[in-house]
Amino acid sequence: MRKIFFSFLIIIVFLIIYYFSQQPWIHFIQDEIHLSLYEEVKPYDYIEEVSHVNIKEIKINNKVNNKKLGKYQIEYHYKNRKFTLNVFIDDKLPPQFETRNIKILKNTTVDPVSLVKDIRDDSKTVVYFKENYIFNETKTYRVIVVVEDEYANKSEKSAYVLVEEKDTEVPTIQGIEKMTILVGDQINLKEGVIVRDDHDKNPILKIDDSKLNVTKEGEYEVYYHVEDHNGNKEVYVRQIEVLSQYANREAVKDGIKTCYLTFDDGPSENTKKILDILDRYHIKATFFVTGTSPEHFKYIKEAHQKGHVIGLHTFSHDYEKIYSSLSAYIQDLNQIKEVVYQQTGTDTKYIRFPGGSSNLVSKKYNIGIMKRLTHKVIDLGYQYYDWTSINGDGENIKTVQGLKKKAIEEIEGKEDIMFLMHDSKSCDNTVKVLPSILDYLIKNGYQFETIHQNSPTFHHTVQN
């Protein structure tokens, strides 16, 4: 009886062992896989051996995002069994960084962070000194700074700490060159101004503009008071010249080539084509519009909506009419102002005189009218803009090649240009030549701006 029982038991145990030995099983090369960022994930490469598994029938669910640090899983499904492998995307690269040298006073403590800049790493980093430094002598210390990331990768670099007995240097200032403005201009006296100090990261700046009167012509001084946290102070003086509101606002010679593209005499069917070209180039322009083609007024709205600037060029563009008297001009101007308001919902303060402020045609209708008009429009709150360069489409140039040649002659050698072209019905060649003019300007380093409140005005000399 006992014997039979034991034999039976052995058979049972064998059957159980056999059962399990026939089950599918996947062995991985490691318990968990560690990869670097962006390293290719290769689920089949992590399988060391299989038993009772047909590798081709394994279905893999790879949840690893190798673009982001973290813990992920790969699931290997075979029939109704699931095997899971943990995959870690680790940061295996040491941090990269630059150092900067600093000045401190004797016996101050230094935060090592103040010696490093531009840290590049995929995980969080800490910054510390390689050794303990005590800055108790007036000399230059060479120190080693360590940057370590969350995965214990580290880099070290040296930096210099100059220890001084006393801070005696005053903060320096930059960007307070002489400024010329017109009466009534809005100015920002802080714009472009940078104060630096050898010991103080945030020196105090106080601007005293109590002597400046922007409503009156004159030469003024503005005082920039700077002080560091050790009490070193200095007063820097800036000259501000306030010119008559009728004066020309000069372009600033700052080495930056700027082009103000302007189109006169539209809108017309050509306006649409010009807007499309400007879209392709992502360039904004200024349109001085007239009222001679009401069926195209919608392009004023379209130009405005696309971020172009609208200016006024009179409604009739009829020299005899507009230059007969101040009131005739103003009346005509109000008419186009109203059209622009209807199309854009805004009032514009930018004007271009037909023929420019230097035109002599007006002499035929009213002697001295341009002298009076140029002041009158400014008294009314407008500003007028002439130009530096043309493509000749208002002259007798009949070919696309001719316009291109003229444009280049007119642009060459100028830092800032106000470029006049026409988008009227007759200017098909301007549409044709425009891309090549834009290519030329871009190739020659010009950046594009629309007319705004503080734009240079490029006034011509009034001759009538």
Nearer to Zn ion, 72 or 384 (CB): 384
Smallest separation, CB 321 to Zn ion (Å): 14
Smallest separation, CB 404 to Zn ion (Å): 21
Smallest separation, CB 265 to Zn ion (Å): 4
Smallest separation, CB 363 to Zn ion (Å): 17
Nearer to Zn ion, 264 or 332 (CB): 264
Q: Hey, what amino acid is at 307? A: G
Smallest separation, CB 181 to Zn ion (Å): 29
Name the nearest CA neighbour of 340 among 314, 306, 365.
314
CA–CA distance, 71 with 89 (Å, rounded to integer): 6
Which of 90, 91, 265, 410 lies at the binding interface for Zn ion (CB under 5 A)? 265
- Measured in residues, the chain has a length of 464
Task: Choose the stretch contacting Zn ion; rule: CB under 5 A; options: 18-26, 157-165, 346-354, 401-409.
Answer: 346-354
Smallest separation, CB 359 to Zn ion (Å): 10
Smallest separation, CB 323 to Zn ion (Å): 13
Nearer to Zn ion, 238 or 422 (CB): 422
Total residues contacting Zn ion (rule CB under 5 A)? 3
Nearer to Zn ion, 264 or 393 (CB): 264
Task: Choose the stretch contacting Zn ion; rule: CB under 5 A; options: 6-14, 122-130, 150-158, 347-355.
Answer: 347-355
Q: Where are the alpha helices (DSSP H) in 323-445?
A: 326-344, 369-379, 400-411, 428-443
Nearer to Zn ion, 171 or 355 (CB): 355
Name the nearest CA neighbour of 448 among 272, 300, 282, 209.
282
**Sites for Zn ion among residues 394-413 (CB under 5 A):** none
Nearer to Zn ion, 411 or 420 (CB): 420
Extract the runs of DSSP E, i.e. beta strands, from 135-216. 140-149, 154-164, 172-174, 179-182, 194-196, 204-208
Task: Choose the stretch contacting Zn ion; rule: CB under 5 A; options: 44-52, 339-347, 350-358, 361-369.
Answer: 350-358
Nearer to Zn ion, 314 or 455 (CB): 314
Contact (Cβ atoms closer than 8 angstroms) between residue 74 and residue 60: yes
Give 389's strand partners. Answer: 419
Nearer to Zn ion, 76 or 387 (CB): 387
Helix axes 298-305, 326-344, angle to 10 degrees: 60
Contact (Cβ atoms closer than 8 angstroms) between residue 149 and residue 122: yes
Name the nearest CA neighbour of 268 among 297, 308, 288.
297
Name the nearest CA neighbour of 431 among 272, 294, 292.
272
Smallest separation, CB 171 to Zn ion (Å): 52
Q: Which residue has the tokens 């930096």?
A: 159
**Sites for Zn ion among residues 152-211 (CB under 5 A):** none
Task: Choose the stretch contacting Zn ion; rule: CB under 5 A; options: 19-27, 236-244, 270-278, 352-360.
Answer: 352-360
Nearer to Zn ion, 153 or 389 (CB): 389
- In SS3 terms, 303-341 reads as HHHCCCEEEECCCCCCHHHHCCCHHHHHHHHHHHHHHHH
Which of 171, 354, 356, 392 lies at the binding interface for Zn ion (CB under 5 A)? 354
**Quick one: tokens of 128?**
């510390």
Smallest separation, CB 332 to Zn ion (Å): 13
Task: Choose the stretch contacting Zn ion; rule: CB under 5 A; options: 132-140, 323-331, 351-359, 432-440.
Answer: 351-359
- Phi/psi at 330 (5° precision): -65, -40
Smallest separation, CB 394 to Zn ion (Å): 7
Task: Choose the stretch contacting Zn ion; rule: CB under 5 A; options: 257-265, 294-302, 427-435, 440-448.
Answer: 257-265
Residue nearest to Zn ion (CB): 264
Nearer to Zn ion, 163 or 420 (CB): 420
* Residue 264 found at the interface with Zn ion (CB under 5 A): yes
Q: What is the widest separation between alpha-carbon atoms in the chain? A: 141
Smallest separation, CB 354 to Zn ion (Å): 5
Q: CA–CA distance from 246 to each of 334, 353, 458 (Å)?
A: 21, 15, 12
Q: Where are the alpha helices (DSSP H) in 346-427?
A: 369-379, 400-411
Binding residues for Zn ion, rule: CB under 5 A, are: 264-265, 354
